[in-house]
Structure 1
Amino acid sequence: MNYFGILHKLFTLFSASTQRWAILKKHVGITLKMWTDTRWESKVKSVEPLRYEAAAVREALIEVRDHTKDPIIKVEAQSLSEEVGSFRFSICTVVWYDILSQTHHVSKLMQSPSMQVDVAVSLLNRVEKDLQSYRATGFVTAQMAAKDICEEMNVEAVLQQKRLRSTKRHFTYEASDEPLSDALKKLEVTFFNVVVDAAASAVRERFSTLQNVKEKFGVLSNFKNLQDSELQKECETLQTTLHFKGHSDVDGRELVQELKNFPDLPSKSMTLLELLTFIHEKELAEIYPNLWTALRIGLTLPVTVAGAERSFSKLKLIKTYLRSTMSQERLSGLSIISINYAVAEQISYDDVIDEFASKKARKVKF
């Protein structure tokens, strides 16, 4: 069973009984949370109690084992208490919490409605560097933190060494494999490196996509430092980017002249939002229409699919047993309306209702 499978069993064991949940609340100050695949924040919240109150969780499991009369619950509580008290589990807890906490804050910031592409790129770049640094020294620090957790639980901080399996060689000239005999080294290679590399790869993929977008709109924030030839090239690239069906939202040649004649900025390093605010406050939109349009397009680009994590919670509310035969198209439409309810409240549905009523009318005119 993997790490999050154990967390799921922990939550299920305590939440299935009010008596067992009361025992948990008596020992643990941080409530156990259920983790889901759809909500990134739930993973951090599910690991947090075991990161800071692992000894209390283990005490709660031992009390459940001693007071329950159900033999199945007794065996499960004993098994989970041994798992939580193991050095391997403590290392996994520290590693997962360190990685998830680093990415969690950036994930929350990127879901902000006011998040900008250039700011998102800098945040992802910082997270990628932090993960690379953590890969180099994180396993050693995780061992130290896990030893402190084991001391609180009064258990020995030693990894159980499994017996190495030997495979029969069919030919004498075959080279023998060199299995990892050190348990800590094996855990670092098979768990720590794999998890950190997967997290860094996901961040790097997101970073490369947003970096490509930032480079196309980078001329809007860096035009004061560009030569005429570079400025001309960047503006033409932006015009091509915003070109659709024979029409472009900006004119590259006019944008070059607007950027050359733009007044001095109050700061050399301004974000796109600060630049747009400057143009709005100085009432320069009519003088620099191409720059005004390009800035608004760049600032309204989606940085992340913030609604993806929340769509499943809406799905549970919409697709009940009464709507089990609903088509996918109608379900998607209702989900969009439910997620964007603030916009939906401002839309008039009179024409849609009239059209629907006319098609569904049971009257026949003679």
Structure 2
Amino acid sequence: MEALVEGELESGTGLNQEVGIKRPSDTRWGSHFSSLLNIKNIYSSICEVLEDLGRDNSDRDRKAEAIRILRSLKSFDFVFCLHLMVDILGITNHLNTTLQRKDQDIVNAMNQVSSSKRVIQEIRDVGWEPLLGNITLFCDKHDVRIVDMEHEYYDGFSRRRGSQDGNVNNLHHYHVDVFKAVIDMQLQELNHRFNEANMKLLLCIACLCLHESFKAFDLDKLMEMATLYREDFPTEYDLQVLEVELKNYIKDVREDERFNQLKSIGELSKKMVEAQKHIIYPKVYLLLKLALILPVATASVERAFSAMKLIKTDVRNKMGDQFLSDSLVSYIEKIVLDSFNNNTIVKLYQAIRSRRVQL
């Protein structure tokens, strides 16, 4: 209400809805970004609630816990880490959301990965001063004591000793030990999961995409992909044969109407077998098989494994494999099941066998 009166917020339909502390996601694909962002947005309200609990004398344990949490929230260390993680997780959360889209193609996905790496690196290079400025404004607004960056860093228990040159001050701790260390860990994780070789291989596989009459087809990249599988294409002769087959193959499938409605590489390989083209282009078919056997775990697979602990609990731990599979399909494919009405399901079960009563 105070923000509306002072003009800091605008009123209107769908604006300024009530916000709570978001529960973290149960899956590994989830991010804590939304949780931290909500804490940042309702920081003052959280502090007010904790202050009220700290004055409650009816429950001493709850009072002591509230005072302890409030002391942590009102510390510069917490505010600094909160702002830093909101900035970093904001980038990776967008990347996670992009990669989980079912209609996302490999080229756009890899471009998004490269873009996220560049943005994080830019924060490391020139993001310190803007971050510190935002933290200072936040601390002034919420009455959080700002530490002197030139003073010796104190972690609350003992003063940390640095190198032989002297003690570590607050500037070195927050700028080097926290800010740069966290960003370097994030970049290292992204580089490990999406290294140059993996990204190059995925971009080469994207050239097999069927959309818009094989628009993404690139002979040079597919030949580069073949060179990564030396056991399957061991000699220069094999590579030359593959190049000739690829040139003939792309003209053939573009003119064949049977290949117009396909949507995936898996469907393409099946159609090649049905049309006996895997015999005509054996090297191309081998390249398709190599693309299909890559160990790729999608977000849907991750959600399926996460759903198991919700379906097969300690109380229901003796269910058979078939019942577990049926339950998982019903739980995961909620959108599909919503398209069926209850009457259709009742009629289906009624028709399975004769019953004493009408369902």
TM class, shorter-chain normalised? Answer: 0.5 to 0.7
2:205 aligned residue: 217
Residue 119 of structure 1 pairs with residue 112 of structure 2:
no
Find the counterpart in structure 1 of residue 10 from structure 2: none
Aligned residue number for residue 361 of structure 1: none
TM-score (norm 1): 0.61
Q: 1:115: how far off? A: 1.7
Task: List per-residue Cα deviations over 1:209-247 (Å, max 9, x = no partner).
Answer: 6414235336553637x5xxx87x44854997989xxxx
Measured after TM superposition, the shift of residue 109 of structure 1 is 1.3
| Higher RCO (C-alpha 8 Å, min separation 6) | 1
Which residue is 1:257 aligned to?
248
Residue number in structure 2 paired with 1:207: 194
Relative distance call for 1:34 and 1:59 in structure 2 (3 A) is same
Q: Letter of the aligned partner of 2:309 in structure 1?
A: K
For the pair 1:314 / 2:303, whether they are aligned, the reply is no
Q: Distance in 1 between matches of 2:88 and 2:225?
A: 39
Structure 2 partner of 1:128: 117
Identity rate, percent: 24
Check whether the contact 1:87–1:157 (CA below 8 A) recurs between aligned residues: yes
The question of whether the paired residues in 2 share the 8 Å contact of 1:38 and 1:310 is answered with: yes
Inter-CA distance 343–165: structure 2 relative to 1 (3 Å threshold):
closer
Change (3 A) 1:34 1:68: farther
Once superposed, which parts of structure 1, at least 4 consecutive aligned residues long, lie more than 6 Å away? 238-243, 260-263, 273-276, 288-303, 329-332, 342-345
SS at the partner of 2:20? coil
AA of the residue aligned to 1:211: M
**TM-score, length of structure 2 as denominator length:** 0.62
Tell me the residue number matched to 1:80: 69
Equivalent position to 1:158, from 147, 153, 157: 147
Q: What corresponds to 1:185 in structure 2?
A: 172
In the superposition, relative to structure 1, how do residues 241 and 143 fare at CA in structure 2: closer, same or farther (>3 Å)? farther
Tell me how far apart the structure 1 counterparts of residues 186 and 65 of structure 2 sit (CA, whole Å). 32
- Residue 132 and residue 218 in structure 1: after superposition, are their counterparts in 2 closer, same or farther (change >3 A)? same
Secondary structure of the corresponding residue to residue 49 of structure 1: helix
CA contact (8 A) 2:147 2:170 kept: no
Paired amino acid for 1:114: D
Unaligned runs of 5+ in 2: 1-16, 209-215, 255-261, 269-274, 338-359
Q: Secondary structure at the match of 1:32?
A: coil
The residue that corresponds to 2:259 in the other structure is none
CA apart distance, 1:189: 2.2
SS of aligned partner of 2:54:
helix
Alignment partner, residue 317 of structure 2: 324
Letter in 1 for 2:159: L
Correspondent of 1:146 among 110, 125, 135? 135
The answer (yes or no) to whether the contact 1:210–1:303 under 8 Å persists in 2 is: no
Partner AA of 1:41 in structure 2: G
**TM-aligned CA deviation for residue 193 of structure 1:** 2.0
Give me the whole-angstrom Cα distance separating, in 1, the residues matched to 2:318 and 2:164. Answer: 55
**Counterparts of 1:34 and 1:257, CA distance in 2:** 55
Question: Which residues of 2 match residues 4-153 of structure 1 at below 5 A?
Answer: 29-35=18-24, 38-67=27-56, 69-153=58-142
- Residues 55-96 of structure 1: per-residue CA shift (max 9 Å, x gap): 222122112212352111111111111211111111100111
Pair 309,215 (structure 1): closer, same or farther in 2 beyond 3 Å? closer
Tell me how large the CA RMSD over aligned residues is.
4.6
The separation in 1 between residues aligned to 2:43 and 2:141, in whole angstroms, is: 8
- Of residues 129-138 and 48-57 in structure 1, the stretch that sits farther from structure 2 once superposed is 48-57
**Number of aligned residues:** 283
For structure 1, list consecutive stretches of 5 or more residues without a partner in the other structure. Answer: 1-27, 168-175, 264-272, 280-285, 346-366
Relative distance call for 1:138 and 1:165 in structure 2 (3 A) is closer
Q: Any conservation in 2 of the 1:65–1:74 contact (CA below 8 Å)?
A: yes
Report whether the alignment pairs 1:195 with 2:182: yes
Q: Deviations for 1:168-227, whole angstroms, at most 9, x for unmatched residues?
A: xxxxxxxx7345421131122222222211211221122226414235336553637x5x
Matched letter for residue 318 of structure 1: I
- Which residue of the partner structure matches residue 10 of structure 1? none
Q: Which residue of 1 aligns with 2:345?
A: none
CA contact (8 A) 1:68 1:74 kept: yes
| Structure-2 change in CA distance of 1:124 and 1:70 (3 Å) | same
Superimposed CA distance per residue, residues 292-350 of structure 1 (whole angstroms, 9 cap, x where no aligned partner): 997899699786520355246522332223333569x78985686456547998xxxxx
**Aligned amino acid, residue 207 of structure 1:** F
Distance 2:201 2:103 in 1: 17
Q: Distance in 2 between matches of 1:30 and 1:242?
A: 56
Whether the 8 Å contact between 1:44 and 1:100 is mirrored in structure 2 is yes
Deviates most, 98-107 or 151-160: 151-160
CA distance 1:118–1:42, change in 2 (3 Å) = closer
